[in-house]
Amino acid sequence: MLDLTSNAVDLTRAICDIPSVSGDEGHLADLIEQAVGDLPHLEVIRDGDTIIARTNLGRDRRVAIAGHIDTVPINRNVPTRTVDIDGEEFIWGRGT
């Protein structure tokens, strides 16, 4: 289960550590659908491994955010980790 109340870095790392190589992202899609499915302000639609979560607030305009959940195969890029580069913290790993 994905914890949507965790901080952004922890949530990103949790998502990126779930195997989701292109063509095999169904488990991650299941987890995302579960995580957003209970949010009362969203309508969640699933088509294969595509998740659409949208508001129906009756407003004239919406903001669209699109992304993908498939990744490249594992190659010394899992688990994710944070790295310091010139004094700034970055997430490093597959899917980041």
Domain residue ranges in the chain: 8-92
pLDDT digits (tens, 9 = 90+) for 41-74: 999 999 999 999 999 888 999 888 899 999 888 7
Given pLDDT bands bounded at 50, 70 and 90, which one contains residue 39? very high
Q: Is the pLDDT of residue 35 over 90?
A: yes
Q: Is the pLDDT of residue 30 over 90?
A: yes
Q: Residue 16: exposed, middle, or buried by beta-carbon count in 10 A (0-12, 13-18, 19+)?
A: buried
The tokens of 84 are what? 């310091």
Cα dihedral across residues 42, 45, 48, 50: positive or negative: negative
pTM, 2 dp: 0.80
What integer best gives the mean pLDDT of the chain?
90
